[in-house]
Amino acid sequence: MIKPIVGRGSPRALAACDDCGREEIVPCDYLARRGGTAEPNEGQVVKKLGSRGWVKSSGNLRCSLCAARGRALVQAREGKVIMTAKDVVKEVAAETLQPTPKQERLIILALENAYDDQAKRYRGCQTDKTVAEELGGAIRAGWVADLRARYFGPDGGNEEIEAIRASIGSLKSDFDKGILELRGEYCAAADALAKRLDAVCIAVGPRAGKVAS
Ligand SMILES: [Zn+2]
């Protein structure tokens, strides 16, 4: 449920979980309704809540915990993993965890070195995952991917991938060339043998049979 907050200060709304009643305050715009009353921009509120793990489905607004619990129940019903309350809390924490400003700065700094702006891909063997692993400190590859996409460029692979692709290409053309050369050598050798055979047949006379070529 989304309710307007009346009073001074910046415009806000109060969101309450329809399952457990948990409440959160969300800054939002107000839209004018007929009759002069203004109501919170519900779409905007739901969108902002979404980034905090809240879900609105079939008319019900659920907090991140209740939404995760709902997903766990569905998984359990479908015979997939059965989650304990602890798992649910962990999953919610994982889904709603955001990098701190300090972590964001570290990621951006690492991307300056790891990402090739001109080639629009990573340098060397770097990927979102290796950047996250090098930074350590609970930094997630997903955060690196977000910041990379926002400030640097697309996930265009890396130098290593490009180099391997190029090697595969030259290996194929080398192979084709090699096959042609080999064919020439074998044909020449077969021709030489045929000539020798002819020479022997001619020396032995008609009883040796036909001339080979
Ligand atoms: Zn709830």
The yes-or-no verdict on residue 184 having pLDDT over 90 is yes
Beta bridge mates, 4:
13
If you measure from the C-alpha of residue 21 to the centroid of ligand 1, how many angstroms do you get, rounded to a whole number? 6
Beta bridge mates, 129:
none
Same domain, 92 and 105: no
Same domain, 33 and 87: yes
If you measure from the C-alpha of residue 49 to the centroid of ligand 1, how many angstroms do you get, rounded to a whole number? 12
Q: What percent of the chain has pLDDT over 70?
A: 93
What is residue 83's predicted lDDT score, i.e. its pLDDT? 66
If you measure from the C-alpha of residue 158 to the centroid of ligand 1, how many angstroms do you get, rounded to a whole number? 43
pLDDT tens readout for residues 84-127: 777 777 777 766 678 999 999 999 999 999 999 999 999 999 99
Same domain, 89 and 107: no
What is residue 212's predicted lDDT score, i.e. its pLDDT? 47
Q: Three-state SS across 24-78?
A: EEEECCEEECCCCCEEECHHHHHHHHHCCCCEEECCEEECHHHHHHHHHHHHHHC
If you measure from the C-alpha of residue 208 to the centroid of ligand 1, how many angstroms do you get, rounded to a whole number? 101
Q: What percent of the chain has pLDDT over 90?
A: 58
Query: How buried is residue 70: exposed, middle or buried, by Cβ count under 10 Å (0-12/13-18/19+)?
Result: middle
What is residue 60's predicted lDDT score, i.e. its pLDDT? 92
Same domain, 139 and 89: no
Same domain, 16 and 57: yes
If you measure from the C-alpha of residue 67 to the centroid of ligand 1, how many angstroms do you get, rounded to a whole number? 7
Question: Which residue range(s) make up the domain with 21?
Answer: 2-96
Same domain, 38 and 75: yes
If you measure from the C-alpha of residue 91 to the centroid of ligand 1, how many angstroms do you get, rounded to a whole number? 15
pLDDT tens readout for residues 124-166: 999 999 999 999 888 999 999 999 999 999 988 898 888 999 9
pLDDT tens readout for residues 35-51: 778 899 999 999 999 98
If you measure from the C-alpha of residue 70 to the centroid of ligand 1, how many angstroms do you get, rounded to a whole number? 10
Same domain, 6 and 90: yes
Same domain, 83 and 112: no
Say if 213 falls within a structural domain: no
If you measure from the C-alpha of residue 77 to the centroid of ligand 1, how many angstroms do you get, rounded to a whole number? 20
What is residue 73's predicted lDDT score, i.e. its pLDDT? 80
What is residue 34's predicted lDDT score, i.e. its pLDDT? 74
What is residue 93's predicted lDDT score, i.e. its pLDDT? 72
If you measure from the C-alpha of residue 50 to the centroid of ligand 1, how many angstroms do you get, rounded to a whole number? 13
The upper half-sphere exposure of residue 6, i.e. CA atoms within 13 Å in the direction of its Cβ, equals 2
Same domain, 13 and 89: yes
Q: Three-state SS across 125-150?
A: CCCHHHHHHHHCCCCCHHHHHHHHHH
Question: Distances in Å between the alpha carbon of 86 and those of 48, 65, 66?
Answer: 26, 11, 13
The yes-or-no verdict on residue 198 having pLDDT over 50 is yes
Q: How many domains does the chain have?
A: 3
pLDDT tens readout for residues 52-91: 889 998 889 999 989 988 888 887 777 766 667 777 777 7
The yes-or-no verdict on residue 213 having pLDDT over 80 is no
Measured from the Cβ of residue 60, the count of other Cβ atoms closer than 10 Å reads 14
Same domain, 27 and 51: yes
**Which of residues 49, 69, 96 is at a domain's end?**
96
* Tokens, residue 153: 């460029």
* Tokens, residue 29: 């715009």
If you measure from the C-alpha of residue 20 to the centroid of ligand 1, how many angstroms do you get, rounded to a whole number? 4
What is residue 207's predicted lDDT score, i.e. its pLDDT? 66
